[in-house]
Structure 1
Amino acid sequence: MEPLSDTDPSMPFQSLTSSLRSGPLAAYSLYIVGSALLASNPVVGRAAAHVVPPIGLAFWRWLIAFLIVLPFALSGLLAHRHRLREEWRRYLLLGVLGQGISGAIVYYGLERTSATNASLIYATSPAMILALAAVWLGDAIRPRQILGILLAMAGVLVILTRGDLEALRHLSFNVGDLLVLTGAVSWSVYTILLRQSGTPLPVVTAFAANALAGVLVLAPFYAWETVAVRPVPFSASTILSIVAVALFASVLALLAYQKTIAMMGAARASTALYVSPLWAALASWLLLAEPLQGFHLMGVLLVLPGVMLATLPARKPRAQAASEAA
């Protein structure tokens, strides 16, 4: 009788599944999913805008997101509790910028503008961050990046004016667009402050701390909105909307983005921010019946190439790249 082979017949299958989980196909699939998750916030926010009050939507979004990640972040929160206690004022400021203005104010804007406009305006955040870092922190900036920033800002101007230059003469802009632009600027300042934080906390720990700070900042405004304006109508559809922005646009978007960075590198993964407005425009057209207009196309042709020019890193000389690879 012939001896049995030592080769496990399942090994080729295991090798295949391993390559699918970690190979280019998995990386680009996660890239596509992650960019779509980033696009879900303006779409769901616009869909819920006239049903769920803006502050209530932001408050419950971040409270649920915090509760989702708490089991994974609890050990880190306890381990870093002394540092968190010492820097509580800074975290409250981050909550004002990241969850308050960039959350509730944007939802106010989505009551008055389209999800497509909001996603295109928000897509300029990386270029704004670069410009703020140059002015605020003294970061070096190259001519290509300056051109990219100018193109992205020109795209925002096209969206604000709806492609009508007469609006500039009369300073006639959509209030919703201006509120979303305020949120994008606030997010850029929030990101710069995070960069200045010194030794960073673990990702999940930082996410939980920022989410909790946002909940604490929003809580008194949510109480006021509930009494003075209108409460959140807790129905099946509103609960689904709140859970959707908490789970998809907050927790899963972060996890997908972090995993994409690990699989593709930060430079290529960051381009997901440029793809998400295209997903938002498609979803808004299909789900919200928002028309795609000529100024949207002009905005895309200015904003996305502008942000890419501004933020994509310069190519390294071949000798340096080969040395680093070695």
Structure 2
Amino acid sequence: MPLPTLPLSLRSGPLAAYGLYLVGSALMAANPVIGRAVAHVVPPIGMAFWRWLVAFLIVLPFALPGLLAHRHRLRRQWRHYLLLGVLGQGISGAIVYYGLERTSATNASLIYATSPAMILALAAVWLGDAIRPRQVIGLLLAMAGVLAILTRGDVEALLHLSFNVGDLLVLAGAVSWAVYTILLRQSGTPLPVVTAFAANAFAGVLVLAPFYAWETIAVRPVPVSASTILSIVAVALFASVLALLTYQKTIAMMGAARASTALYVSPLWAALASWLLLAEPLQGFHLIGVLLVLPGVMLATLPARKPAAVAAAETA
């Protein structure tokens, strides 16, 4: 007997789109929450190495045809992909896990949420992209929110340049992700999504491998236990593979502009999960950060509304 299927309206309508939107934003929050939960059990480079290796192996069956079809291009651009591995999986991966040893998942997710605004600023300086007054205001608000988090709402900390090292490491990861994204824009004709994901993940594994070997020998190995394996698989599957696929599907269902706001909802999920699962207290400076960072990033990155006449002409 065949299984019943949902009506097409439920599978492709607004309800399905916004349901996927919420699921995707929650999946994005899994990385800082799980990373913080195992920060003092799984060493940071080991966490990053195994996260991306497992993610690569998960997508390999689906990405293999594309990897073979584009193998000559990938071989020609191997230096470029190794650089992407350094930025996207090394600094934005392992360095952030170092940060999560020293700061909360809530702080990390709010700081990392500013990366879209940083991408906008870098694109303006690096690529000469035009930037509007509304976007400048958004950038200033987002950076003010980051300062509120870095200083824990204490102006004295800003005057004495006294910041939490973990927060600064996460900030470095967010900047690295912004540079990574700009370099992806300069890669020429984009590869298929799954192919690019697999290539970048494998490049990250190659970059992390020697550092992982050093960490295993000189610092401490990744402990082999059921909880460790589950944590690594969860980050690889939920925060990497499923988060990407859900995000891509949301873009297809509701457009890039609205789908991208999932990046701003993710810190709220992270804060809630950290409070419930990790017993992290929600403090006043977190509220200030939310009220500055999220509206600031939205102002900076949401596209301008098209005039009604233009929109009507495009859909005619």
TM-score by length of 2: 0.98
Report SS of the residue matched to 1:197.
coil
Deviations 1:198-254 (A, max 9, x none): 100000000000000000000000000000000000100000000010000000000
Amino acid at match of 1:132: L
TM-score by length of 1: 0.95
**In structure 1, what is the equivalent of residue 99 of structure 2?**
109
Q: How many residues align?
A: 314
Matches of 1:135 and 1:301, distance apart in 2 = 27
- Structure 1 segments unaligned to the other structure (5+ residues): 1-12
**In structure 2, what is the equivalent of residue 156 of structure 1?**
146
Q: 1:219 aligns with which of 205, 209, 224?
A: 209
**In structure 1, what is the equivalent of residue 308 of structure 2?**
318
**In structure 2, what is the equivalent of residue 6 of structure 1?**
none
Residue identity (%): 89
- Structure 2 segments unaligned to the other structure (5+ residues): none
Q: 1:63 aligns with which of 53, 58, 83?
A: 53
Matched, 1:270 2:270: no
Deviations 1:116-137 (A, max 9, x none): 0000000000000000000000
Matches of 2:249 and 2:18, distance apart in 1 = 11
Matches of 2:7 and 2:101, distance apart in 1 = 45
Q: 2:232 aligns with which of 214, 233, 242?
A: 242
**In structure 1, what is the equivalent of residue 134 of structure 2?**
144
Moved over 6 A (4+): none
**In structure 2, what is the equivalent of residue 52 of structure 1?**
42
Matches of 1:316 and 1:137, distance apart in 2 = 24
Superposed, which structure 2 residues align to 1:78-227 within 5 Å?
A: 78-227=68-217
Amino acid at match of 2:21: Y
**In structure 2, what is the equivalent of residue 10 of structure 1?**
none
Amino acid at match of 1:171: L
Matches of 1:259 and 1:209, distance apart in 2 = 20
Matched, 1:253 2:240: no
Q: Considering only CA atoms, is the larger Rg found in Structure 1 or Structure 2?
A: 1
Amino acid at match of 1:17: P
Q: 1:305 aligns with which of 283, 291, 295?
A: 295
How big is the shift at 1:168?
Answer: 1.1
Deviations 1:75-134 (A, max 9, x none): 000000000000000000000000000000000000000000000000000000000000
Matches of 2:221 and 2:29, distance apart in 1 = 27
Aligned-residue RMSD, C-alpha: 1.0
Deviations 1:18-70 (A, max 9, x none): 11110001000000000000000000000010000000000000000000000
**In structure 2, what is the equivalent of residue 295 of structure 1?**
285
**In structure 1, what is the equivalent of residue 66 of structure 2?**
76
Report SS of the residue matched to 1:50.
coil
